[in-house]
Amino acid sequence: MKQLLCAAVLSLLVPVYALAQPQSGNPMQSGNAAMKYWQAIALLPHFDEKQEKLLENWNTIPLNAEAKQLLQTSQAIMKYLGRAATCSHCYWDLDYQEGPGLLLPHLAKCRTLGRLAALQIRYEFDNGNVSAGVDSFLNLMSLARNAGSDPILISILVGYAIESFALEAIAPYLPGLDKELLSKLAAGTAKLPKIALVQQAIGTEKTYMNGWLLKQMEAAEMQKPGEWRTILQSLFSPDAREKEGNQKVLDSIDTFAKAKQYSNDLMAVYDELFKAFNLPYAEQADRLWELTQQARKNNPLAVLLLPALNKTHAAQNRYQAKLALFLAALAVAEKGPDELKAITDPFGNGPFEYKQLPQGFELTSKLKSTDGKQVSYSVGK
């Protein structure tokens, strides 16, 4: 009887197990990439000061024995980055309800992974392993997109930073790639998940910074009148230079009713900031600046809570321009500069500017960085 029961259970389980297995031929796994990244992070060796310096300067260091040794200790990490890139989704499971106390321990570690992977790309190409170099590039791009997948300004900025490592690492080798690999790069990049948008992060700021503060102050006040101040003060910077500013905020918000009112008023400011992103590109920065300055003047909580949106907005524009330049560079490397006629600069009315270099070329967008220089992308050594 027992044997019959076991056989029946097994016969039910076998098809379930078979269905749970990834289909052969389908490179996309259904797993969570974040779990693979955490395994890669756990495998990060304890770098000594010298190795940290090497990593920091991954883009300029000579690819000598030291760099090779650094990469040799990181082979398992590279494997996990590759596995993460085949996952269908990335869920970091962040504790948003913690509000400003939300911990983002993965971001700094992802940057370290990013630098290692960028060095790996250089190493592969330098050693003639072009196909492995392309794979490493796509894995790094995947890490960038996944690190920036949460609608949090800091996550988004870290995503941009990692992606800039990837674009910089592959740039010298693009003109030397054959059509097949260039197509693989274009197709692989098109399939990648997207980094969250800055405007989406405004919603997060509204709910989990200002919304959290309001909720916590209400709870504290219910518990003990006057205790709302402790919550407000917990957000103050411990920096002595900001002591005066902090005191100003406290002086302006002297009652709980005022604190609540300022917090509610600030909710509307977030909505206006979000709407500013729907304006034509050229008007966005000014509108964001105007709204932020106005809010900071009229609302002491804005001084404490509003993020540096102008910086992140500029970073988003720069990122979008760089990505468009990279995709255009792939097209030029594959089919020649005439391809540019069909590609419009997202920050201008026409195509990107093209300039031939001794061993490659440079594409330039109309977008200007905060330093006043136009954003460009140079390929070739």
CA 206 to chain centre: 20
Size of the site for other proteins (CB under 8 A): 50
Lookup: tokens for 30: 């259904």
Q: How far apart are CA 285 and CA 313, in angstroms?
A: 7
Helix (H, G, I), strand (E, B) or coil at 143: helix
The site string for other proteins over 230-249 (x = CB under 8 A, - otherwise) reads xx-xxx-xx-----------
Closest distance of CB 37 from other proteins, Å: 14
- Under rule CB under 8 A, residue 44 binds other proteins: yes
With CB under 8 A as the contact rule, the residue among 38, 47, 289, 354 that binds other proteins is: 47
The site string for other proteins over 81-120 (x = CB under 8 A, - otherwise) reads ----------------xxxxxxxxx-xxx-xx--------
Helix (H, G, I), strand (E, B) or coil at 6: helix
With CB under 8 A as the contact rule, the residue among 208, 262, 270, 377 that binds other proteins is: 208
With CB under 8 A as the contact rule, the residue among 275, 311, 335, 355 that binds other proteins is: 311
Q: How far apart are CA 205 and CA 203, in angstroms?
A: 5
| Residue 143 · residue 155 · CB < 8 Å | no
Closest distance of CB 298 from other proteins, Å: 18
Cα–Cα nearest to 327, from 178, 173, 187: 187
Select from 21-29, 138-146, 216-224, 258-266 the region that touches other proteins (CB under 8 A).
216-224
**Which residues sit opposite 87 in a β-bridge?**
29
- Under rule CB under 8 A, residue 371 binds other proteins: no
Residues 164-203 that bind other proteins (CB under 8 A): none
Cα–Cα nearest to 362, from 338, 375, 374, 379: 379
Classify the C-alpha dihedral 137-42-88-99 as positive or negative: negative
Looking at residue 194, the DSSP 8-state letter turns out to be: P
Residues 53-72 that bind other proteins (CB under 8 A): 56
- Under rule CB under 8 A, residue 223 binds other proteins: yes
In sequence order, what are the residues at sequence separation of 6 or more whose Cβ sits closer than 8 angstroms to the Cβ of residue 264? 214
Q: How far apart are CA 192 and CA 183, in angstroms?
A: 14
Select from 174-182, 214-222, 260-268, 356-364 the region that touches other proteins (CB under 8 A).
214-222
- Under rule CB under 8 A, residue 154 binds other proteins: yes
Closest distance of CB 379 from other proteins, Å: 26
Q: How far apart are CA 147 and CA 46, in angstroms?
A: 22
- The per-residue DSSP string of 142-193 comes to HHHHHHT-SS-HHHHHHHHHHHHHHHHHHGGGGGGS-HHHHHHHHHHHHHSP
Closest distance of CB 71 from other proteins, Å: 17
Stated as kind and residue range, the H or E segment containing 365 is: strand 360-368
Closest distance of CB 305 from other proteins, Å: 9
Q: Which is nearer to other proteins, 155 or 189 (CB)?
A: 155
Q: Give me the residues that bind other proteins (CB under 8 A), please.
A: 44-49, 52, 56, 97-105, 107-109, 111-112, 152-154, 157-158, 208-209, 215-216, 218-220, 222-224, 227, 230-231, 233-235, 237-238, 307-308, 311-312, 315
